[in-house]
Structure 1
Amino acid sequence: MRLRPAPGQALGAEVTGFELENASADDLKTLRAGIYEHQLLLLKEQHLDPAGFIALGKALGTIETYYEPMYHHPEHPEIFVSGSKPGENFKGVPQTGKFWHADYSFMPNPFGITMTYPQIVPTTRRGTYYLDMAKAFADLPESLRNTLRGTKVEHSARRYVKIRPSDVYKPMHEVLADIERTTPAVYHPTVFRHPVTGVEVLYVSEAASFGFVDRNGVRLPGEILQEVLERTGQLDPECRDPRIHLQTFVKGDLLIWDNRVLVHRALHNPAPEPAQSYRVTVHDDEPFFGVEDGNA
């Protein structure tokens, strides 16, 4: 197995020669360390069936099955399915993740590692945008960093909703009530130190963040969240901010990233071309938030 920084890119590393069935304990240790060092790994020439993909997730930690069954692979609920594959008798949910987010940030216990395994890659536009929120925090003005340390940020799933079949013809107030009942808002540290690397991470996303509260639970002005999103590049509609990394992929590629540090956003092909990806999400052996800055 060989792991090397992606040539010409500030973010990510490429892994070649990795075969799960032949991977040693040292290989898996190197893979885990690479996730934290490089934030994003692109494993080349993978040939895993669904059970093998799940086995890779279990080799990295404990798999979290997504709470909404409509995303589940019919035979392997641990796999979240985005898109559909011609000839299959089940349909994944199309066009997922078209907004900046960290997976599961709106839940009480987010996970540390996300893996996606494209099954059908369109011939034209397809990829995922990433932003390094440790670097984004370091680039903020010192006064704003000091304002954010020690605060908490509200996360909720209520901004972007995938309508379920059972929601058709249901009054919107009932749909919203279901969201609040199933995924009530949670408050996470706005800034924390990564439990492995020790860097300060800004845990804020355009999709799920709804404002900051101070140590006493008092809501900070909404303009602060707007400024943070603007300064971190998440309000750029064309994703041309120089800090944004676009990771493309080909058939056989498997992406693994540090879900603590990176927020991401899918790049979808607007043309009606088949596309499908599998996703497995993993709790690693570390506390998610490490040490909350300002409260240590």
Structure 2
Amino acid sequence: MRIEPQLDGLMGATVTDFRLASASDADIASLREAVYRDSILLIKDQRLDPKEFVDLGNALGVIEVYYESMYHHPEHKEIFVSGTKPGNDFEGVPQTGKFWHADYSFMPNPFGITMTYPQIVPKGNRGTYYIDMAKAFAALPGRLQDQLRGTRVEHSPRRYFKIRPSDVYRPIHEVQAEVEQTTPAMFHPTVFRHPVTGEEILYVSEAASFGFIDERGLRLGPEVLEEVLELTGQLDSTFTDPQIHLQTFVEGDLLVWDNRALVHRALHSPKPEPAQSYRVTVHDEHPFFGASA
């Protein structure tokens, strides 16, 4: 197995000659180390069936099954299926992730590692945008860094909640009430130390963040969140902000990334066409939040 830095982007490493069936404990340990060091791993030439993909997740840590069953693979609930495939059975949920987010940030216990395994890659544009929120925090003005340290940020899925088939014709207030009951807002540290790298991570996303509260429990003004999102590149509709990294992939690629340090957003093909990815999400051996900054 070889792990080499990518040379055409802001982050990431390419992994070649990796085969799960013959991988040693040292190989798996090297993958974990590289996730934290390089943020994104592009593992080439994979031919895993769904069970083997789940096996890889189990090798890296403890899998978190997504709380909404409509995303589950029909035979392996550990796999979150996005997109659709041709045929009578449209497996998956289309047009997911079209907003900046960190997976599960709105839940009490987010996970450290996300893996996606594209199954159908469209001919048009397809990829994922990433922003390193450690580097983004380091680039903020000092007065804003000081203002954010010690605060907590509200996370909720209510802004981009995906309507389910069972929600059709339901009164919208019932749907909203169920969202708030099932996934009540979480208040996580705005800035914390990565438990492996020691970097200060800014845990804020355009999709799930709804403002800050200070150590006295008082809310900061909405302009603070607006400034943070602007300065971290998450409001750039052109995706040309120098902090944004576009990770492309081809058939046979498998992506693994650090879900603590990165926010991401899907790049979908502008024209509707078949596209499908499998996702497995994993708790590693470290507490998600290191010491609050």
- Confirm or deny that 1:163 pairs with 2:155: no
| 1:198 alignment counterpart | 198
Could you tell me whether the CA contact under 8 Å between 1:78 and 1:280 is conserved in 2? yes
| 1:50 alignment counterpart | 50
Paired with 2:196 and 2:254, the residues of 1 have a C-alpha distance of: 23
Paired with 1:8 and 1:277, the residues of 2 have a C-alpha distance of: 23
SS of the residue 2:158 aligns to:
coil
Paired with 1:88 and 1:259, the residues of 2 have a C-alpha distance of: 34
Comparing 202-211 with 82-91, greater Cα deviation is found at 82-91
Paired with 1:257 and 1:181, the residues of 2 have a C-alpha distance of: 30
Identical aligned residues as a percent: 70
Cα displacement (A) at 1:10: 2.2
Paired with 1:198 and 1:88, the residues of 2 have a C-alpha distance of: 49
| 2:248 alignment counterpart | 248
Q: CA RMSD in A?
A: 0.8
SS of the residue 1:252 aligns to:
coil
Could you tell me whether the CA contact under 8 Å between 1:100 and 1:263 is conserved in 2? yes
SS of the residue 1:280 aligns to:
strand
Cα displacement (A) at 1:85: 1.5
Unaligned runs of 5+ in 2: none
Paired with 2:177 and 2:279, the residues of 1 have a C-alpha distance of: 28
Letter in 1 for 2:229: L
| 2:211 alignment counterpart | 211
Cα displacement (A) at 1:90: 4.1
Paired with 2:261 and 2:10, the residues of 1 have a C-alpha distance of: 14
Using structure 1 for the length normalisation, give the TM-score. 0.98
Note the alpha carbon deviations across 1:117-156, whole angstroms, 9 max, x for none. Answer: 0000001110000000000000000010000000000000
Cα displacement (A) at 1:9: 2.2
Could you tell me whether the CA contact under 8 Å between 1:74 and 1:90 is conserved in 2? no
Using structure 2 for the length normalisation, give the TM-score. 0.99
Comparing 232-241 with 80-89, greater Cα deviation is found at 80-89
Paired with 1:128 and 1:9, the residues of 2 have a C-alpha distance of: 12
Paired with 1:251 and 1:8, the residues of 2 have a C-alpha distance of: 19
Could you tell me whether the CA contact under 8 Å between 2:9 and 2:246 is conserved in 1? no
Letter in 2 for 1:211: G
| 1:62 alignment counterpart | 62
Could you tell me whether the CA contact under 8 Å between 1:112 and 1:283 is conserved in 2? yes
SS of the residue 2:131 aligns to:
strand
| 2:258 alignment counterpart | 258
SS of the residue 1:263 aligns to:
strand
Unaligned runs of 5+ in 1: none
Letter in 1 for 2:234: Q
- Confirm or deny that 1:110 pairs with 2:120: no
Cα displacement (A) at 1:88: 6.0
- Confirm or deny that 1:270 pairs with 2:270: yes
| 1:189 alignment counterpart | 189
- Confirm or deny that 1:33 pairs with 2:39: no
| 2:238 alignment counterpart | 238
SS of the residue 2:31 aligns to:
helix
Could you tell me whether the CA contact under 8 Å between 1:79 and 1:279 is conserved in 2? yes
Paired with 2:54 and 2:91, the residues of 1 have a C-alpha distance of: 20
Cα displacement (A) at 1:6: 0.3
Alignment of 1:57-136 (within 5 A): 57-87=57-87, 89-136=89-136
| 1:178 alignment counterpart | 178
Cα displacement (A) at 1:242: 1.3
Point out 4+ residue stretches in structure 1 off by more than 4 angstroms. Answer: none
